[in-house]
Chains A and B, each alone.
Chain A
Amino acid sequence: MPPEITEQYLKIIFNLTEDGGAAKTTDIADALGVAPASVTEMLHKLDRQGFVRHEPYKGVILRKKGMRIACRVARKHRILERFLSDMVGVRGRSGHEQACKMEHALSDEAEHNLCRIMNHPEECPHGRKIPKCEMDIPCDKCASETVPLSDLAEGSSATISHLSSTDKDELCTLLSMGFVPGSQVTIEKKVPMGGPIIVSLKGTKVAIARNRGQILRVTRAS
């Protein structure tokens, strides 16, 4: 894993070149709050390591190797910002600064789970696109780690991940019964002859028709 400072530089260059073109040394210096001279020095180093291509007076662009790291860091940053803004209530400058520090400490697994918990956000609070992760599966399939409730065997437990329904009445009915993301469910019984699934949830038993069991996506308890 490259040092934090490398990640930081690559991310800044990513931000600046996202809409095309090359990043100027002065802009990088501004964003980092350091002297342009030290930026130039660092850029040379990154060029040597093969992360970026630096052409004097033109600017700097990411190479493939640097792009991979930059994407990952920018992705973590923007997901963290989303998390801080929506779930913690820290927004603006402060959110950005904290995300800047946290992005280097966040493991890929934690990022992955955070992304899923927030249901694959596409934009950061500032309206920038969150880069895709490096997993082979597309986002809507990323839920493939989640399964429909009806796929679980009798006696197994799971955590509700999200509800895949567009019918608002249905959604609200399920929610108000307590089927909210994060709650624990146990399959008590699957009544034979195409009967419903009997689930226990927060100390209550609920019978759900099998086809409705498709709506509730869950992650299996380990």
Chain B
Amino acid sequence: MEIALAGNPNVGKSVIFSKLTGVGVISANYPGTTVEFTEGRAKFMGMTVTVIDLPGTYSLAGNSEDERVATRLLNERRPHTVIAVLDATRLERNLVFLFELIESGHNVVAALNMYDVVRKSRQEIDVARMERILMMPVIPTVATKDEGIDSLLYTSVQMRRSSKFRVRYDSHIEAMISDLEKHLSEKDWGVPLRAAAIRLLAGDENIVKAAPAEARKASERLRDDFRKGHGEDIVVHIQRDRFGEAGRIAKEVMGTAATTRKKTRIAEDLTLRPATGLPILVGVLALMFVVLVFVGGIIEGVLVGAYEPTGKAFFNDLSQQAGNDIASGVIQGLSLSIEAMLALVIPYILVFYIMLSILEDTGYLVRVVSLLDGVMHKLGLHGRAVIPMVVGFGCNVPAILATRVMGSRRERLILAILITIAVPCSAQTAIIVGSVGKFAGAWWALAIYMVLLGTLVVLGLAMHRMIKFEPTGLFVEIPDMRWPSAKQTAMKSYIRVKEFLTIAFPILLVGSVVLETLMALNWLQQIIDPAGPFMNALLGLPAFTVVALVFGILRKEMALQMLIVLAGTSNLALVLSNEQMFVFALVMAVFMPCLAAFAVMLKEFGLRSTVTVALASFSLALAMGAAARAILSL
């Protein structure tokens, strides 16, 4: 049995999902799209129920990719029941979405979520009356407190019929609907005839494409006539009628409209005002940075400490027994990959994802997007670009994936370039903090960040000039600020870490094995040797740093350790001057993070763009390194 969760964004759909399901949660892209949906399993009285969490949309009309995916999933999977998750504090708009679900003929159960907020504002929704009007079960829920979840699942499983409720459009439109119904009656549309007619009238492409030519012509004529008579598209009137009906029902079951709450309002206002919002943003980013470096560092120490005597020792023994250079290279590569995963994924990536999903779920990130939208426009991006950039501080791989939120390919590419070049990922941060920050002082580290920020701005402006186009305008709902749910945060972070692992681990593994094999065969030195004098002349760095730089291509997080190993001392100040360390860290930070980032760019943007970006970032890194050396040696 399958149950689908549908609803507007920010209504607590994902929280309900996380409460309903337990293990076996998977997140997948709908084939051929960038839209993700989640799927999990719930146990109910010995029965396994599959729960599909549809993308949050405001409508099912198929006007955005999210909407198309939601509609297609409903049509293809034909779930037994659709749970319409409604925000009880915004009944009117949520009812409009519910109308569309009912119209489509699904067995719908409504979850009146965030009911506690309604209660807290001393209001009440007459649920029994709402059930009578809508002719379907309505269950008040407080997902964050587990209220009503059991009865929601129970009712959904028991659900056997669809509601007979109909929105009545104005008689002009009703006449058109019955006219079109005649034309459409011969085919099974997967939705009731009425819904098919309404969608055809509104110009829903899914139906328009499949409709017989005669019906298509009739609907076009009706639409044209309507536009001539009213000067407005028919969808405006259809939606207006739906909102009118929703408003009436909301008024009937609720009395007065909900009042706004005070406490969160103040916090919201502060985050949106530049004078206070920008310092708050800097503070939040600084806090994230500190948590990442310190908490991450501690966890890394513990994990790597635990791995050395157990796993590493085991692989060491194994590689000695292998006797063969290549075999031992492979084994060592495997061991290193596991170590890197322990040292990177859990301490940094996981910690970062947890913080990110908290920022998302509280509603703070959307506010940052709104705050910075104007500024981002000047860089040829829109405010939504903030999210991938913030993600980029954790790891560039998911950041490049997150560029999907951008409207066009060009915007995506600009953003991906800015992220790979100018946003230091956690491994790059580790290098900056671990070398320059530790030995040369915090000011030197800060200087690198300032240089990167400058690069970001200059590069963004330059690309905006070169690739001329107007970024699409922002249009986003700002949800109320609220506390995140622990379970949802955990689930989200888990799904993201899993996605990261499936992309990054194979590449990391291959890269490590190749590198170890080259070292075991002593070929690496021969490749690097000729580059030594060149690097020395250009960047003023000793020859041994070349190995660390090359290592950085494959495994950025290993570059620092490599440098220490090659220097023969953990006190880098003995072998490198402050200036040299600065140049080294800067080059590492500007250069494309690692092979995994390269691979994910390849996947998203194709070979040509990726190679161009890689070469550009490589030359830019060297040029900036050389420039920094020249300036510092003045």
Contacts and interface: CB of A to CB of B under 8 A. Distances in A.
Interface of A: 82, 85-89, 91, 118-123, 125, 162-163, 168-169, 171-178, 180-183, 189, 191-196, 198, 202-212
Nearest to A183: B243
Contacts of B63: 168-169, 172-173, 176
B229 interface: yes
11 contacts: A86-B172, A89-B174, A119-B230, A122-B231, A125-B229, A177-B58, A177-B475, A189-B269, A189-B272, A209-B473, A209-B474
A180 B473 contact: no
Interface in B389-409: none
B477 A205 contact: yes
Contacts of B233: 168, 171
Contacts of B61: 172, 176
B456 interface: no
A203 B274 contact: no
Interface of B: 57-59, 61, 63-64, 89-90, 92-93, 96-97, 170-172, 174, 202-203, 228-233, 235-236, 239-240, 243, 257-258, 260, 268-269, 272-274, 366, 369-375, 377-378, 382-383, 473-479
A90 B174 CA distance: 13
Contact of B377 (A175, A183, A189, A194): A194
A178 B92 contact: yes
B374 A86 contact: no
A203 B118 CA distance: 13
Nearest to A192: B274
B378 A194 contact: yes
A207 B232 CA distance: 25
A194 B372 CA distance: 9
A218 B300 CA distance: 57
B115 to A, nearest CB: 15
B231 A121 contact: yes
Contacts of B474: 196, 207-209, 212
Contacts of A89: 170-172, 174
A196 B378 contact: no
A209 B370 CA distance: 9
Contacts of B57: 176
B229 A121 contact: yes
A180 B243 contact: yes
B235 A203 contact: no
B93 A202 contact: yes
Given A120-B231, A206-B478, A86 B473 contact: no
A202 B92 contact: yes
Nearest to A213: B473
Contacts of A120: 231
B170 A196 contact: no
Given A193-B274, A196-B474, A203 B89 contact: yes
B250 to A, nearest CB: 9
A196 B374 contact: yes
B370 A196 contact: yes
Contacts of B378: 194
Contact of A203 (B171, B229, B239, B258): B258
B58 A181 contact: no
Between B90, B96, B236, B268, the greatest number of chain A beta carbons within 10 A of the residue's beta carbon is seen for B236
A204 B58 contact: no
Given A123-B229, A180-B240, A209-B373, A172 B172 contact: no
B260, B366, B475, B476 pick with most chain A CB within 10 angstroms: B475
Contacts of B369: 207
Given A168-B203, A198-B272, A208-B475, A86 B230 contact: yes
B364 to A, nearest CB: 14
Contact of A196 (B59, B230, B383): B383
Contact of B239 (A168, A176, A206): A176
A80 to B, nearest CB: 14
A154 B98 CA distance: 33
A208 B375 CA distance: 15
Contacts of A198: 272, 370, 478
A145 B17 CA distance: 47
A169 B64 contact: yes
A204 B90 contact: yes
Contacts of B236: 162-163, 171, 175, 180-181
Given A173-B63, A180-B240, A181-B240, A202 B231 contact: no
Nearest to B273: A189
B506 to A, nearest CB: 38
Quick one: which of B61, B174, B370 has the most chain A CB within 10 A?
Answer: B370
Nearest to B277: A191
Contact of A123 (B59, B228, B240): B228
Contact of A193 (B64, B239, B258, B374): B374
Given A180-B243, A206-B475, A192 B374 contact: yes
A173 B476 contact: no
A183 B90 CA distance: 14
Contact of B370 (A122, A168, A176, A207): A207
A36 to B, nearest CB: 36
Contacts of B372: 195
Nearest to B476: A207
Nearest to A162: B232
A182 B268 CA distance: 27
A162 B230 CA distance: 11
Given A86-B170, A193-B375, A203-B90, A119 B473 contact: no
